Structure 1
């Protein structure tokens, strides 16, 4: 894997996170990062207080701080891993981490900025939410966004024009494109979070903008709901990659003595899960904790009886199974002897083989044409 990036005339060593991932062909930066940095350093080199949104692995923050100009960067991300990667890459390149302020996606944005840089997220609703936040900033702050040319659509530009000044775009370079706009000091309210009733229950689910399957119950969770545990044992259960927390919510309902830990690397997911327990089962809150984390990193070995998981098979735009594999390996570490990992996955992903190799056992407890529900026990 290439780790040396040429950004703004400087060579930086950049690592993609998690560091232990098996797919080492994926880079920690892309052509849009290169284009954006080159443009900013040529046309806005005097900007000192820069707001950066969605800096995947810290490439933008590192590049902005690697020049002789004194800058303060505010790095806003929904991703725990993105902030981890940025901190690591700053140290790797002997850059001062104190020059970066980290905010999650639910924090208020600072007003004292000279320039806004934004990597266009794949999630159009999340982009709209972020543009809504930018619309609340003072007028005439330059906003420059970057993304793959093929992913910047007419609808993307309409979203910019709805919240900010009418945008213009650059020519494409290396299949990347820039979007130019400005703040107007005319706030436009975000439509998020959104809420909808959970079918066949009395629950109403609230979902922040960057939550997976934000607008309706995803079909995987709908099938997994049929295979969730029940009973009165006081088990310690982890909803790993919890999203809006629907799986943990139903588990709390059917296991009145269980203690639930909701874990996701998305700040908006963890907030949504907490909102949904607070609104639907407030009496169960004392049995819950909510943690934004890189899977189960730093969790205590042998501390859980059951891990429930609907693992992702992508990281941002990259299709990859390394997060699922990390979840399985760390679940084995965290489970007690005799503890269970119960997952749902698309049938074609062949998680059964992975779990058999890792745990030495795996059984199918449910399937249909699209999904398989698997159970594996930590024996050793």
Structure 2
């Protein structure tokens, strides 16, 4: 009999021979949770961190789970899940934000462990506070990315944490028994940090890159914004993260209408909080989208870009090229893409080819800042 996991695709995410829609962790989590899935009542199963639908569709196809709720941080993951489900004729799930309604009354949570301990802390806190007291969390990851600190984070919120035997370089942690409210840490998400040197307050949920700090790539690009000639029109902060660049741009050029866009749900929630905390909600619109989806062609005067150029833990040239092409599509002729990137990646020839003439604004051994003019 064909296994649904064998038929999953990554699309619309990048697809390549060395990039997979399913890995050994997906299979291990489903196997460890199989007895609980077989007995699960309608509406009691939650999946968090499913990458392309393996956990969600595996639970549905293999065990007939119904009323499943799922949360995926990356929008490409959500879209891949929907496409896989439609192609395979599967349903019975709904997508949710990382909010109480996701886990309310849940008795079984399947979790792909996030790399970030802060992201794990936010998830564990939500489960402990809002899931059924009998909830069991089956959390899996690749052994090389797991640390005992993950056990400690889970144990802050759930009293029982057990590590199961590894298989095919993956391992599962099983956590249960939510701690009483008086034993759990105080709520901390989103975090909020003042940066007097920049005059910006940054808000961040657990899964947001750099947290409530300001990463050095963003600082490198911020150092050159005073040289911007554009003073009015429209701008996009592409891959906005916590929204620092969007806020700085809105303050520096009040005549610009800024769209901040990111595919990460944690980033978008963080950016919205950052925008409100800095009083620029009237000039910055934050939206969750893949790249520049939803923005008309040749409609933008300026794009700022400081995203990670990675697929998982791997730098992949297709990511950068796709982002540059997204920027080029929405820029008006004469509009500019201001980008910061790791100097060793040498993206200038790609920028010249995809966007247009590119000048260097700054460079050090770590980062290069460039401005590319749309032909």
Q: Find the counterpart in structure 2 of residue 296 from structure 1.
A: 292
Provide the C-alpha distance between the structure 1 equivalents of 2:323 and 2:259, rounded to a whole number of angstroms. 15
Provide the C-alpha distance between the structure 1 equivalents of 2:209 and 2:198, rounded to a whole number of angstroms. 20
Q: Find the counterpart in structure 1 of residue 316 from structure 2.
A: 320
Give the one of 160, 183, 192 matched to 2:189: 192
Q: Find the counterpart in structure 2 of residue 3 from structure 1.
A: none
Structure 1 alignment gaps of length 5 or more = 1-5
Q: Find the counterpart in structure 2 of residue 207 from structure 1.
A: 204
Q: In structure 2, the residue corresponding to 1:249 is in which secondary structure?
A: helix
Q: By how many angstroms is 1:305 displaced?
A: 0.7
Q: Indicate whether 1:219 and 2:219 are aligned.
A: no
Give the one of 101, 105, 109 matched to 1:112: 105
Alignment of 1:357-376 (within 5 A): 357-376=353-372
Q: Deviations over 1:58-104 (max 9, x none)?
A: 111111111362422110122212211111111121212xx111012
Q: By how many angstroms is 1:184 displaced?
A: 2.3
Q: Indicate whether 1:251 and 2:249 are aligned.
A: yes
The answer to whether the 8 Å contact 2:160/2:177 transfers is: no
Provide the C-alpha distance between the structure 1 equivalents of 2:231 and 2:144, rounded to a whole number of angstroms. 52
Q: Find the counterpart in structure 2 of residue 93 from structure 1.
A: 88
Q: By how many angstroms is 1:231 displaced?
A: 5.5
Q: Find the counterpart in structure 2 of residue 121 from structure 1.
A: 114
Provide the C-alpha distance between the structure 2 equivalents of 1:259 and 1:338, rounded to a whole number of angstroms. 18
Q: Indicate whether 1:16 and 2:3 are aligned.
A: no
Q: Provide the alpha-carbon RMSD of the alignment.
A: 2.0
Q: Find the counterpart in structure 2 of residue 80 from structure 1.
A: 75
TM-score by length of 1: 0.91
Q: By how many angstroms is 1:107 displaced?
A: 5.1
Change in CA separation of 1:215 and 1:278 when aligned onto 2, cut-off 3 Å:
closer
Q: Deviations over 1:8-40 (max 9, x none)?
A: x54541111434x36442001111001111222
Q: In structure 2, the residue corresponding to 1:222 is in which secondary structure?
A: helix
Alignment of 1:204-353 (within 5 A): 204-228=201-225, 230=228, 233-280=231-278, 282=279, 284-353=280-349
Q: Find the counterpart in structure 2 of residue 131 from structure 1.
A: 124
Query: More displaced, 49-58 or 320-329?
Result: 320-329
TM-score by length of 2: 0.92
Provide the C-alpha distance between the structure 2 equivalents of 1:111 and 1:183, rounded to a whole number of angstroms. 15
Query: More displaced, 44-53 or 155-164?
Result: 44-53
Provide the C-alpha distance between the structure 2 equivalents of 1:166 and 1:172, rounded to a whole number of angstroms. 19
Provide the C-alpha distance between the structure 2 equivalents of 1:315 and 1:108, rounded to a whole number of angstroms. 30
Provide the C-alpha distance between the structure 2 equivalents of 1:313 and 1:306, rounded to a whole number of angstroms. 20
Q: In structure 1, the residue corresponding to 2:139 is in which secondary structure?
A: strand
Change in CA separation of 1:243 and 1:148 when aligned onto 2, cut-off 3 Å:
same
The answer to whether the 8 Å contact 2:128/2:158 transfers is: yes
Q: By how many angstroms is 1:186 displaced?
A: 2.0
